[in-house]
Structure 1
Amino acid sequence: MLKRLGSLLVLAAALTGCAKEEVREIKRTDVPNFPIASAVQVPAGSDLFFLSGTVPPAVNKDAPAGSVDVFGDTETQTVNVLTRIQETLKAQGLTMGDVVLMHVYLVGDPAKEGKMDFAGMMAGYTKFFGTPEQPNKPARSTVQISALVTPGMLVEIEVVAAKAKK
């Protein structure tokens, strides 16, 4: 009986040691030939960071109030929004590579007959995700909405970032 109990204790200790050595990582399933993930698996116990919707700063204060020219075209707004997100993440010790989920809200561009400028958004987005320097890609949804809080804004982005505990 004691021999069997001793064997069980050794086995339990060995398994406990294995659990501590387990490497936990975020797993991404990429969409072929497109810079997003179809799914991202975040292991239990990871730290999650939810960032509120971020909008672009004014880039041309001399432009007519309420015009797109105040904030720039969709690509410019996307780059400026993602730069703001990058700065917010950095303040938390995170990078764009830690972003696991993204929701992109695009207002129809008056210069595009009221349709969202998906190509412009992608031109800005691909400067931050799926690059040789930063290959990680989030799961992402992009939708057209009727308006944002400030006229002239075309882009709002919210993200969730995750850091797996090792």
Structure 2
Amino acid sequence: MAMALFFSGAHAASATEIIRHEAKGVPVAYAVEVPPGRATVYLSGKLPARVAGDGRSASPLPYGDTRMQTISVLEQIRDQLQGLGMGMQDVVKLQVFLVGGKENNGNMDLDGFAAGYAQFFGSSAGQPNVPARSTFQVAALAHPGQRVEIEATAVRP
């Protein structure tokens, strides 16, 4: 069993610990195992906070670029988790919705997202408990200037 865990990239753990199978080279888990009896918390999607302007412009400027929007959304998730007595280390899954804009020829800004994400997850962020993650390009969000929405699933310690 220990040898199988070693080769799979998982960390040996007791039956009550969460096991994260980390992907190589990126701060993402390709799988997360949650033991029985742990409470799962599903957070609704969060959108970026407005950083400038009145919000009526179709430009992403009122919400910042993708990196800034990612940071705004992950800060909201962090704050909501803290209000529930939890933290970013308890996140096991993220669903990320990115909108492509004129500033990226209609393509999502995955590099901008990754730069914001790296401030919260991975060794450079000092938070090694990386979640599993899906990232999708979608047509639009609530405001034409919003480029990022993220849903989170966490497990209570």
What TM-score bracket applies, with the shorter chain setting the length?
0.7 to 0.9
TM-score between both structures, scaled by the size of structure 1: 0.82
2:34 to 42, 52, 59: 42
TM-score between both structures, scaled by the size of structure 2: 0.87
Matched position secondary structure for 1:134: coil
| Residue 83 (1) aligns with residue 42 (2) | no
Name the count of aligned residue pairs.
Answer: 143
Larger Rg: 1
Q: RMSD between aligned alpha carbons?
A: 1.4
| Residue 138 (1) aligns with residue 131 (2) | yes
The structural deviation recorded for 1:23 is 5.3
Kindly provide the CA deviation profile for residues 81-133 of structure 1, in whole angstroms up to 9, marking residues without a partner as x.
00000000000011101000000000002111010000000000010001352
| Residue 127 (1) aligns with residue 122 (2) | no
2:145 to 132, 135, 152: 152
Contact (CA 8 Å) 2:47, 2:149: kept in 1 or not?
yes
The structural deviation recorded for 1:66 is 2.5
Greater helix proportion = 1
Trace 1:12-27 onto structure 2 (pairs within 5 A). 24-27=16-19
What is residue 109 of structure 2 aligned with on the other side? Answer: 117
Moved over 6 A (4+): none
Structure 2 gaps of 5+ residues are: 1-13
CA distance in 2, matches of 1:48, 1:63: 34
Identical residues among aligned pairs (%): 44
CA distance in 2, matches of 1:128, 1:78: 10
